[in-house]
Amino acid sequence: ADLRVVSASEAFSQTFKLSQSETEGRLIYEVGNGEWNIPRLRHLLQDIIRHNSFFNDFEVTHDFEQIGRRTMLLNARILKNLSGQPAKILVGFHDITARTLFEAAEAARLAAESDKIRAEAAVRAKDDFFAALSHELRTPLNPALLLATSLADDTALPLHVRADIDVIAKGIALQMQLVDDMLDITRIATGKVRLDLRPIDAHIALRNAYEIVRADAREGQIEVTMDLAATHNCIKADAVRVQQIFWNVLQNSVKFTPPGGVITVRTRNPADKKGALVVEIADTGIGIEPEMLGKVFDAFTQGEHSSAHRFGGLGLGLAITQRLIELQNGKISAESLGRNRGTTFRVEFPLAPSKVRPADEPTAGPSVTPSVKARRILLVEDHEQTRSTLAQLLGQRSHSVVGVTTAAAAREIAAARRCDLVISDLGLPDGDGYALMAELRDAYGLPGIALSGYGTEEDVKRSLTSGFFAHLTKPVDIHALEAAIAVAPPALSARVLT
């Protein structure tokens, strides 16, 4: 059979933009300059003739010259003449292009939504993992740091013993810095760093950062000089994070500068960059090899393998620094002439138009601990060593301490005796410290200090919202705890047992 087109509907002609003269009387495979010579259609029509059969809703996608790609459902069956013999083939075309495109778009949308849900679940799982890891790393170190910071102040001990204890405390603090760096790089990567951008004095942040590293520099026999020559030093930034930035760079210079070395801190307002503050921290340390300069701000990068082990750390400090600077519209670069020829880090921030309010500035560290009057303390902590160590140290400081391990026991003690203050862990065997604090505050007017291995911004915010007036992240040194106890608000005794 030659399969010539006997007639074509008006709908066919309009859809495929073919006139009757271009269709009727022509072989089906020659219609539209051969556009209908579709292998699958040819196979189906031949099969109908061969088997005297039919087909329904056979989907075909084909590219047409005038109308582009179309997806069609084909239906065909044999038409017989009066004597019952096959005479013609009726072929119907249903254009489902729009439906197909919609279904494809919807499938893509659902797939993207599913991918997003999976990605968010993966991020949550990673966040939960790092939070749990942080908690598990911090909690066992808590009694060690509490004891170390307490014994380091004990004038009854020989100086060399106190010095050894101070080494222990510094080792614990370094371990916690590594944990904080790990959490910071994760928060930055997932866009979860919150910044409080406001006009701040960059010179104050620099001086505070220097105060923190000064002891390490002195111990390493490194001279640090400050030349803060910039006349305009107000930048719009997060005061705490800027201090962290300067501390990271200064600490890096101290770390890689040998005894007898010099670190110079300079600030200036360059004439060729109006509206900018440039901070340069230059050291006479081990320098950076040329091939490593481009990688110095990459996470987990510390130059040659031997140096990484020699100086310790995870190689996260500068990576965190760069990302925090960029989040505050600044930039950082590193310059070095090579090994043993020192390094200069250059940090640039745009100036802020407003002046700084003194209250906006962070401090270099904990303020001097106010005098602490004796308190009746309810201590809720399920980690045995932390609970016993805290009870011992607080007792030595004239506080009366009742230690319990569960929320239920805490409720019983609060109901049975008068307390001035609650110090509570947040993860308890029979509940959480948040709910316990809210209950004790509402029932007895007790103020509370949260003590936890969880220390994200969300954790701190949740603690304050639930009724704690302070949140201390483990491991805690005894001075920070004393400072918090000293400023604890009074218990609302009028509400006791009401």
How far apart, in whole angstroms, are the C-alpha atoms of residue 423 and residue 47?
A: 85
Q: What is the 3-state secondary structure (H, E, C) of 237-257?
A: ECHHHHHHHHHHHHHHHHHCC
**What does each of the 498 residues of the chain score in pLDDT, given as a tens digit?**
678 888 888 888 888 888 888 888 888 888 877 888 888 888 888 888 888 888 888 888 888 888 888 998 988 888 888 888 888 889 888 889 999 999 999 999 999 999 999 988 887 787 777 777 777 777 888 888 888 888 887 888 898 888 888 878 877 776 777 677 777 777 777 777 778 899 999 999 999 889 888 888 998 999 999 999 999 999 999 888 898 899 999 999 999 999 999 999 999 999 888 899 999 999 999 999 988 888 888 875 555 434 443 444 445 778 889 999 999 999 999 999 999 999 999 999 999 986 655 544 554 444 444 567 899 999 999 989 889 999 999 999 999 999 999 999 999 999 999 999 999 999 899 989 999 999 999 999 999 999 988 877 788 899 999 999 999 988 888 888 999 999 999 887 533 333
How far apart, in whole angstroms, are the C-alpha atoms of residue 435 and residue 454?
A: 16
Packed helices 159-189 and 97-151: angle between N→C axes, nearest 10 degrees: 170
The one-letter code for the residue type at 60 is V
The one-letter code for the residue type at 471 is H
Helices (H), 52-158: 97-151
224: nearest Cα among 280, 285, 279, 265: 265
How far apart, in whole angstroms, are the C-alpha atoms of residue 284 and residue 256?
A: 9
Q: Tell me how far apart the terminal alpha carbons of the chain are, to the nearest angstrom.
A: 101
Which helix or strand (DSSP H or E) is residue 283 part of?
strand 276-283
Chain segment 309-362, per-residue pLDDT in tens: 344 444 577 888 999 999 999 999 999 999 999 999 999 999 998 665 554 455
E-strand stretches of 204-275: 223-228, 234-237, 262-268
Helices (H), strands (E): how many in the chain?
A: 14, 17
Local structure of residue 291 (DSSP, 8 states)? G
Rg for the chain, CA atoms, rounded: 37
How far apart, in whole angstroms, are the C-alpha atoms of residue 423 and residue 481?
A: 10
| Stated pTM of the model | 0.55
Please, how many CA atoms are within 13 Å of residue 167, restricted to the half-sphere of its CB? 7
How far apart, in whole angstroms, are the C-alpha atoms of residue 316 and residue 495?
A: 49
Local structure of residue 361 (DSSP, 8 states)? -
How far apart, in whole angstroms, are the C-alpha atoms of residue 406 and residue 424?
A: 10
Q: Which residue has the tokens 């309810």?
A: 378
